[in-house]
Amino acid sequence: MSAQTSPAEKGLNPGLMCQESYACSGTDEAIFECDECCSLQCLRCEEELHRQERLRNHERIRLKPGHVPYCDLCKGLSGHLPGVRQRAIVRCQTCKINLCLECQKRTHSGGNKRRHPVTVYNVSNLQGSLEAEEMDEETKRKKMTEKVVSFLLVDENEEVQVTNEEDFIRKLDCKPDQHLKVVSIFGNTGDGKSHTLNHTFFYGREVFKTSPTQESCTVGVWAAYDPVHKVAVIDTEGLLGATVNLSQRTRLLLKVLAISDLVIYRTHADRLHNDLFKFLGDASEAYLKHFTKELKATTARCGLDVPLSTLGPAVIIFHETVHTQLLGSDHPSEVPEKLIQDRFRKLGRFPEAFSSIHYKGTRTYNPPTDFSGLRRALEQLLENNTTRSPRHPGVIFKALKALSDRFSGEIPDDQMAHSSFFPDEYFTCSSLCLSCGVGCKNSMNHGKEGVPHEAKSRCRYSHQYDNRVYTCKACYERGEEVSVVPKTSASTDSPWMGLAKYAWSGYVIECPNCGVVYRSRQYWFGNQDPVDTVVRTEIVHVWPGTDGFLKDNNNAAQRLLDGMNFMAQSVSELSLGPTKAVTSWLTDQIAPAYWRPNSQILSCNKCATSFKDNDTKHHCRACGEGFCDGCSSKTRPVPERGWGPAPVRVCDNCYEARNVQLAITEAQVDDEGGTLIARKVGEAVQNTLGAVVTAIDIPLGLVKDAARPAYWVPDHEILHCHNCRKEFSIKLSKHHCRACGQGFCDECSHDRRAVPSRGWDHPVRVCFNCNKKPAWTSLSVVTGKSPLC
């Protein structure tokens, strides 16, 4: 770019000296002007500076005769188009700077500086060329915005209408690596928000739709890209206009505010209404309370390179009047921003979330409205990156999507407290405790992150929901809070052994740390209440959609019915009579360890008579082998097997050898002792088993309703599969999930797993959804608080 200067060129601009002083100490005449260095440079300084790699591509121009430099102080931004710099009219010989008229008045009109000698530039010849330059610049910028169109970003139902980042960038029509800021506008319906954006950013083109009709022309949130200022411009619905989904539409405004760097509040009222201050004050409070935490979480969750600022945007109140003076006109000593802060304070609103609040007014004596003052204020604020920096359009989309996913869902208008523009109900979980009616304090959709419901206050007991939970007292005294539940059987018992023990000793309370800590009928008399001895009680909240409480579900009858149904199914497949099969099956389930299983007994162990399908098989209580009735009709005590002093059935051989002591080891006695308890109960049950078995011939619905646990949905209320919605019929049987209690078809509930929290310690039928949940592994949850609180 540089070249040797001819002698003729020297002396053309004797008043212009080098402003860099890099190689010449400021004594040489200026030959070049570098726009990017913003300085006049002599030949030597120009060569030395632009040898550097980072400065090599700077645009420089050679000075012509009569050249007038730019102002060194203001850079020409005030009162002019963006990027059009102000020319100087004088050069201060003492300060060694060039000054435009405005900067000369501001810096050299008083004190000692007014006596500084100045050199006046001849700008009359340049006036026409400067005006032409500005006209060319404005024409260029208008051309840049000719193809800009707006698009629907979010509809009135808070649904984002852009599928992903690429779609957002494509609709904005900007480069993916372009750094942007976001400018949005708010105000009452009919105040000309869309018109303001069109004239401020797009030179009057109708990028955002305007309409002279009474209906609102902007529904939802619309966006467009301004390539001149490099900002995403967002137009919103007017306040006080929507009649449907008012709460959701109001909440949508705060989401837009949260992603904005600069907010324009447009008002056409002759006097500033209280609604303006209440809206901004409530928006600030809601932003700090609900959005700052979510914006931080989005930064971490999405791995954004540019952190989302937790301080809100700057606000410009654009006030247009016709008949009244602008704010502050009657108080020259006070700036408008001070009067606005006083107004906020009087209304008890504190806009602490916003990085700054500015007032820009214009009085329109005759249309059209002058938007130049607003444009200049916007350009100055957009250049300030102290609080909020430009970021890629993908970051903007991720922030909007995260806020939309978090704060979504219907808001019933009849439940809203309309004393605030942004009540907590807009952003907090809408679930109410069924017992006490208090609301959940967590943010919306917290369940997606696995966060349980929580309330600020304690709950009250409700008999309908029985919302008491038990915690192990011994664990509590050791510093742990372990919830426990009354159950039919211990987790270590087999299904039928547990059922037999339940009939004999009552329900149990089992702690995962301490084991079985309580049996309701452990002693024949004097059993104490568990609350007085081994557990503590706590009243917890009842939230809609939860699985209920870890209580005794009284499923003993259903467990027996499940076994009978399974057995009866097998019996029908073999064409056997159900009564004998039930007896045989029950005998095998609770038989002592030394008994031979019924399935292995094909003939009498003494006479070798083969057993037919309906023949009764008898076990000798002494040797455990199988006999016909004729070969085992005698009775005698068998205390060595644990049957006590009462006579029991024995075979002929054992009866004849009654004076001979059986050789039974101590280990066998211990092993058989537990199963004998179940067998003794079983023998008592078998006396009435015939009556129980006839239940198979009774309508199944009647039996199931009688045995149904409390949390199961009654059969007559189940019309469709809870998952696939198929309608139940004679051919399509209904099944209950042992975890949630809902009704399902076989296809949607064929999985098997243990559900200890419901009293099913062994694999039972569960639905497809419950099978996907984290394992129902224990009777309790070891946490700092109850999972249902």
Pair (276, 407) in one structural domain: yes
Q: What is the CATH number of the domain that holds 384?
A: 3.40.50.300
d(CA 390, CA 181): 5
Q: What is the pLDDT, as a whole number, of residue 333? A: 76
Of 771, 772, 727, 721, give the one whose Cα is nearest residue 747: 721
What are the angstrom distances between the C-alpha of 103 and each of 67, 75, 268, 377? 19, 10, 34, 18
Quick one: 168 and 294 in the same domain?
yes
At 264, is the secondary structure helix, strand, or coil? strand
> Of the candidates 734, 760, 422, 366, which has an alpha carbon nearest to the alpha carbon of residue 558?
760
Distances (CA, A) of 298 to 246, 256, 456, 522, 616: 27, 16, 26, 56, 72
Statement to judge: residues 242 and 388 lie in one domain: yes
| CA distances from residue 284 to 64, 272, 574 in whole angstroms, order as listed | 55, 19, 75
CB 279 within 8 A of CB 227: no
Considering its fold, how many domains does the chain have in total?
5
Q: Are 342 and 243 contained in the same domain?
A: yes
Residues 337, 286, single domain; the answer is yes
Shared-domain flag, residues 165 and 236: yes
Within the chain, how many helices (H) and strands (E) appear? 21, 27
Q: CB count, 10 Å around CB of 328?
A: 17
pLDDT at 694: 43
Cis, bond preceding 368 (omega within 30 deg of 0): yes
Residue 744 domain-assigned? yes
Does residue 504 form part of some domain?
yes
Query: Residue ranges of the chain with pLDDT lower than 50?
Result: 1-11, 76-83, 304-309, 415-417, 419, 421-422, 524-525, 550-561, 563-579, 666-667, 669-679, 681-682, 684-685, 687-703, 776-789
The two structure tokens encoding residue 517 = 């800590």
Q: Which residue carries 């059969």 as its tokens? A: 715
Q: Which helix (H) or strand (E) holds 43?
A: helix 43-49
The CATH number linked to 764 is 3.30.40.10
Report the percent of the chain where pLDDT is more than 90: 14
- Structural contact between residues 200 and 376, judged by C-beta atoms closer than 8 angstroms: no
In one letter, which amino acid is 507? Answer: Y
- Please give the backbone phi and psi of residue 729, each rounded to the nearest 5 degrees, phi first: -145, -175
Euclidean distance between CA atoms 312 and 299, whole angstroms: 15
Sign of CA dihedral 614, 615, 616, 618: negative
**CATH number of the domain within which 47 lies:** 4.10.830
Of 222, 219, 224, which is closest to residue 171 (Cα–Cα)?
224
| Strand positions, DSSP E, 114-218 | 118-120, 151-154, 181-187
Amino acid 713 reads V
Residue 77 domain flag: yes
| Residue 519 is assigned to a structural domain of this protein | yes
| Rounded Cα–Cα distance for residues 491 and 511 (Å) | 10
To the nearest 10 degrees (0 to 180), the angle between helices 495-505 and 578-589 is 90
> Has residue 548 been placed in a domain?
no
Q: What is the rounded CA–CA span in Å between residue 614 and residue 600?
A: 16
Judge if 184 and 254 occupy the same domain: yes
Q: Could you give the C-alpha distances from 176 to 141, 144, 168, 197, 395, in angstroms and in order?
A: 22, 18, 10, 24, 10
Residues 234, 377 within the same domain: yes
428 domain residue, yes or no? no
DSSP annotation of 147: T
Name the one residue in this structure whose structure tokens are 């995403």.
232
- Residue 611: HSE in the Cβ half-sphere, 13 Å Cα cutoff: 22
Q: Looking at residue 319, what is its pLDDT?
A: 93
Would you say residue 372 lies in a domain? yes
Q: How far is CA 82 from CA 76, 123, 713, in A?
A: 9, 22, 70
* Among 389, 414, 439, residue at a domain's last position: 414
60-62, strands of its sheet edge to edge? 39-41, 32-34, 60-62
Residue 785 lies in a domain: no
Q: What DSSP state is assigned to residue 722? A: T
Q: Report CA 536 to chain centroid distance, whole Å.
A: 34
End of a domain among 69, 91, 120? 120
**Is the torsion defined by CA of 573, 574, 575, 579 positive or negative?**
negative
pLDDT tens-digit readout, 249-301: 778 888 888 888 899 999 988 889 888 998 898 888 888 887 777 666 666 65
Q: Are residues 297 and 182 in the same domain?
A: yes
CA–CA dist 392, 395 (Å, integer):
6
Q: Which residues contact 767 (CB under 8 A, 6 or more apart)?
A: 722, 723, 737, 739, 740, 742, 744, 748, 749, 751
- Calculate ∠ Cα 526-532-534, nearest 5°: 100
Q: Which residues contact 230 (CB under 8 A, 6 or more apart)?
A: 178, 179, 180, 181, 390
**Residues 280 and 208 both lie in one domain:** yes
Residue given tokens 């098997």 in the structure block:
752
- Assess whether 193 and 325 both reside in one domain: yes
For residues 380 and 512, membership in a common domain is answered with no
- Average pLDDT of the chain is 75
Range(s) of the domain holding residue 629: 590-657
The amino acid present at 784, given as its one-letter code, is G
